[in-house]
Each structure stands twice: as structure tokens, then as C-alpha cells.
């Protein structure tokens, strides 16, 4: 009988705890306002596929709640069920994969760069058994590939070649080319002393039938000289559709003074010997060809925002407003340049960060103002990526005015 009383007590505690969780969550969520898009101009239907991620808090330094906002309304973390919270607020791509391929996705990470998804194939690659510091490494490729037509899965683990050399290895891209699995990684080498470590970009080829590595190429590397004040690092340019099939990746080699924010490249040419700050390259995963991308001098101080197909989207400021330039990596030439007039960006003044997404020929620009000096609301624009016409412009704010001091920090945007 004593055993049953213990079971009843444990069950009661669990029920009480879960019930308290839901009650507190509901009360917390109800205390926060609805987040909405306030139209300035354009067609509100342009926002149907937009998801905004942010955090709302009472008071400038108070505790807050994570929130997602769409054209249909906003959802706070406290409104999600316990199990939905355990899953977290995944990106739309990851949520779709989890809903459609539950068995395959079980136990896998939510990092988009680890996946490749086409009509026929879903592939996943991760690096497991990574350890901190310079301790001995057992890191391996964890690989699983689903044939959607046959519903058959190939899975295997392979040690990372020369893994004792690396502090950590990160997956940057996964592709299938001519029946082989291609995996691009950024490998950070172990440091022999203080300062910054060297890093490299590698492409590994896998034979799926034999479940082994049948090729490796190191196609980019930077070596640090910790005796001077210069830090060099490699950065991959974000692809607008990282899950899809593509034959090129674009990356940059950045040079900056330690402790200083990197600046745009102000030199006339882009080459390893003469470049001041940044060099950009395109690497073809099919042929192994690497080519430098030479921006015209007047565009070299612009920030490279996103890569879509064969087009790089650059953004900068001009006397007339915010300027966008479209650079074709195949022809190595500027395809188009357009300016968003200053009156359309009047709230963009101080400490603003921009996030750009490309989808279906449209450019979505999120301008966030998450600093104490600028209380202006974050803004969003939808622009025709070819003509530069503004299809929609609006502000991200609360549905009803509030007499409480609040802070809505917007930190990301996704396109469904």
C-alpha cells in the first residue's frame, strides 16, 4: 500500500507542476501586447510569408518574453505548450522538415546548413564528438541520406581526416553532385600559443554505397601572424536558400585590426597581395574552380548581404538614400543598381542593422533599432529585386498603445 501512496504522491506533484506551468504561462502571455505591422505604404499581402522574431520586455532592462509575429498575429513563447517549448521556435524550413519527415528528423540538430533537401533526396551531415580546447578529438561525420522515392535511408559515421589537428569543425553546406555527397566545412586549427588560430575551408566527397570518404580538397585558408595587429578569418556568405541544390558557394577572407570593427574594402582591386580588408571568392563544387570576385571601386565599401542563385546583393549608403547593387558572380559584373530614397528610410538613423532575405524575386529588408539611443520602431520593406520598386513599407509595433515603458527588440526575419 505504501508503494501506491508514493505513486499517487508523485503523480499529484507532476500534475500540480504542469498545471502551474500552464497557468503561469497563460498569465504571462496575456500581459504582453499583440505585435503588428503598421503599414506606411504598399500592399499588405506582401507580408503573408514573413515571420519576425523578437523579444518584448516591460522596461528598458526588465525581463522579457520571446515572440514571433506574422501578418496573422503574434505568438509569445508563454503561449506554446510544454512540448512546443521543448522543440523551440524552429525556422520554417526546419519545422516543415520535422512535420513531413518525423522519423528521419528525430534526434537531429536544427541548423539549416547541415541539410540538403530536393524532390528526391533529404541529406543530413553533422560533426559529432567535438571536444573543448586541445583535448584529444574523436570527431566524426554523422551522415544520413533519405531516398524519398524508395523511403530507404543510408546512415554511417566516418572519422574526420586529420582530426587531431582541429579544435573544431563546422558544416557550412551539404550538396549532392553526380551521386556523391559533397560537404563543405570550416576547420579551425588548434592553437600552439595565444592569439587567433588558423582556419580553413574544406570540401569532402563521400561515396554513399561504400560509406566512405573518396575525396578532400582544402580550397581556402588563412594563417595568423600573432606578432602583428592583424586578424584574418574566413566567412561564408549566406545563401538565400541553403537547403536547395546549388553548384557554387561564396566566401570572404577578412582582414581587420584586433579589437576594431571591420570596414568595407576601399581599394581598387581585389587580390591577396593588395586588398586592404576583404576579398570575395566563388568556389564551384562541381569543377573545383575558385575565382576572385572583383567589385567596381565605387561599390567596394558596400556590405555583402546575401547570395541568391548567381547574384550577390550588396548594400550601402548614398547621398540619395540606401543603395543596393546586384553583382553577377558568373559574368563578374554589376547587373543593376538602385536606390531607396531617403524619405523611405527616415527612421533609419542611428545604430541600425539590416537583415535581407530573397524569395521569389523579392527582397525583404528588415531594419532593426535595438539600442538604447534609438527608440524608433524597427521597419520592414518588400522590394522588387529587379526594378527596385517598393512593394510594401511598414513599421513593427504594438497593436494598442501602452502606458508602460516597453522595449520590443526585433532580431530576425524568416520567409515561409
State in Å, rounded, how far the first CA of the chain is from the last one: 55
Please report the pLDDT score of residue 340 as a whole number: 85
- Compare 35 and 262 and report the one with higher pLDDT: 35
The pLDDT of 371-391, averaged and rounded, is 83
**pLDDT of 273 over the 90 cut:** no
CA 239 to CA 306: how far, in whole Å? Answer: 6
Mind spelling out the 3-state secondary structure of 154-216?
EEEEEECCCHHHEEEEEEEEEEEECCEEEEEEEEEECCCCCCCCCEEEEEEEEECCCCEEEEE
Please check the confidence at residue 259 and state whether its pLDDT lies above 90.
no
pLDDT of residue 350: 45
Cβ distance 312 to 326 under 8 Å? yes
Stretch 200-208: mean pLDDT: 98
User: What is the CA angle 402-408-413, rounded to 5?
Assistant: 135
Using DSSP's 3-state secondary structure scheme, residue 360 falls into: coil
Segment 228-248, tens digit of pLDDT:
667 788 999 999 999 999 999
Query: 320 near 341, Cβ under 8 Å?
Result: yes
If one compares 95 and 45, the residue with the highest pLDDT of the two is: 45
Band of residue 408 on the pLDDT scale cut at 50, 70, 90: confident
In sequence order, the 6+-apart residues with CB closer than 8 A to the CB of 316 are 264, 299, 301, 302, 303, 322, 323, 325
**High-pLDDT (> 70) share of the chain, %:** 76
Grid coordinates standing for 387?
526594378
Question: Under 8 Å CB-to-CB from 407, ≥6 apart: which residues?
Answer: 56, 57, 59, 60, 62, 64
Mean pLDDT, rounded, for 152-176: 95
Closest-CA residue to 190 (of 108, 135, 110): 135
Sign of torsion, CA 293 299 301 304? negative
Q: Which three cell numbers stand for residue 3?
A: 508503494
Confidence grade of residue 163 (pLDDT, cut at 50, 70, 90): very high
Helix/strand/coil for 140: strand
CA atoms in the 13 A half-sphere facing the CB of 17? 7
Considering the chain, what is the average pLDDT of its residues?
83
> The pTM is what?
0.81
Sheet holding 180-189, edge to edge: 166-177, 180-189, 199-207, 212-222
Q: What is the domain class of 31-415 according to CATH?
A: mainly beta
Residue 30: per-residue pLDDT: 60
d(CA 294, CA 309): 18
Question: pLDDT band at residue 261, thresholds of 50, 70 and 90?
Answer: very low
From CA 215, how far away is CA 169, in angstroms rounded? Answer: 17
Q: How confident is the model at residue 249 (pLDDT cuts 50, 70, 90)?
A: very high
Instruction: Give me Rg for the CA atoms of the chain.
Output: 24
Per residue in 83-124, pLDDT (tens digit) is 666 565 567 888 899 999 999 999 999 999 999 999 999 999
- Residue with grid cell 520590443, as numbered in its chain: 408
pLDDT for 80 = 79
CA distances for 309 relative to 181, 251, 369, angstroms: 20, 14, 30
- CA nearest to 54, candidates 31, 36, 72, 30: 36
Higher pLDDT: 5 or 325? It is 325
Cell numbers linked to 184: 563543405
Amino acid 22: pLDDT: 47
Amino acid at each position: 500500500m505504501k508503494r501506491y501512496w508514493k505513486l499517487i504522491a508523485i503523480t499529484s506533484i507532476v500534475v500540480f507542476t504542469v498545471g502551474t506551468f500552464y497557468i503561469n504561462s497563460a498569465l504571462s502571455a496575456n500581459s504582453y501586447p499583440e505585435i503588428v505591422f503598421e503599414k506606411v505604404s504598399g500592399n499588405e499581402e506582401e507580408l503573408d510569408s514573413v515571420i519576425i522574431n523578437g523579444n518584448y520586455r516591460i522596461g528598458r532592462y526588465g525581463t522579457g518574453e520571446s515572440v514571433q509575429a506574422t501578418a496573422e498575429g503574434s505568438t509569445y513563447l508563454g503561449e506554446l505548450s510544454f512540448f512546443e517549448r521543448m522543440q523551440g521556435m524552429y525556422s520554417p524550413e526546419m519545422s516543415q522538415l520535422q512535420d513531413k519527415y518525423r522519423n528521419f528528423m528525430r534526434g537531429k540538430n536544427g541548423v539549416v546548413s547541415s541539410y540538403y533537401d530536393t524532390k528526391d533526396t533529404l541529406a543530413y551531415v553533422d560533426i559529432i564528438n567535438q571536444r573543448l580546447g586541445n583535448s584529444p578529438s574523436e570527431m566524426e561525420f554523422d551522415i544520413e541520406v533519405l531516398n524519398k522515392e524508395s523511403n530507404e535511408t543510408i546512415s554511417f559515421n566516418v572519422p574526420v581526416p586529420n582530426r587531431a589537428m582541429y579544435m573544431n569543425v563546422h558544416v557550412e553546406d551539404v550538396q549532392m553532385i553526380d551521386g556523391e555527397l559533397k560537404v563543405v566545412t570550416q576547420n579551425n586549427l588548434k592553437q600552439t600559443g595565444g592569439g587567433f588560430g588558423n582556419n580553413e575551408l574544406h570540401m569532402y566527397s563521400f561515396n554513399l554505397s561504400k560509406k566512405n570518404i573518396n575525396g578532400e580538397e582544402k580550397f581556402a585558408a588563412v594563417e595568423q601572424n600573432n606578432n602583428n595587429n592583424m586578424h584574418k578569418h574566413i566567412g561564408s556568405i549566406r545563401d538565400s536558400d541553403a537547403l536547395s541544390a546549388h553548384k557554387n558557394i561564396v566566401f570572404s577572407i577578412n582582414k581587420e585590426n584586433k579589437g576594431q570593427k571591420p570596414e568595407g574594402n576601399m581599394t581598387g582591386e581585389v587580390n591577396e597581395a593588395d586588398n586592404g580588408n576583404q576579398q570575395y571568392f566563388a568556389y564551384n563544387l562541381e569543377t573545383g574552380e575558385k575565382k576572385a570576385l572583383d567589385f567596381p571601386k565605387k561599390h567596394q565599401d558596400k556590405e555583402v548581404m546575401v547570395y541568391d542563385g548567381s547574384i550577390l546583393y550588396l548594400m550601402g549608403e548614398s547621398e540619395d538614400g540606401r543603395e543596393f547593387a546586384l553583382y553577377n558572380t558568373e559574368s563578374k559584373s554589376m547587373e543593376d543598381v538602385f536606390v531607396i530614397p531617403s524619405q523611405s528610410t527616415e527612421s533609419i538613423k542611428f545604430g541600425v542593422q539590416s537583415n535581407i532575405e530573397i524569395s521569389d524575386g523579392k527582397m525583404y529588408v528588415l531594419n532593426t533599432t535595438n539600442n538604447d539611443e534609438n527608440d524608433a520602431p524597427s521597419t520592414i520593406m518588400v522590394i522588387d529585386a529587379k526594378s527596385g520598386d517598393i512593394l510594401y513599407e511598414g513599421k513593427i509595433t504594438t497593436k494598442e498603445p501602452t502606458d508602460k515603458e516597453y522595449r520590443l527588440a526585433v532580431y530576425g526575419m524568416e520567409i515561409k
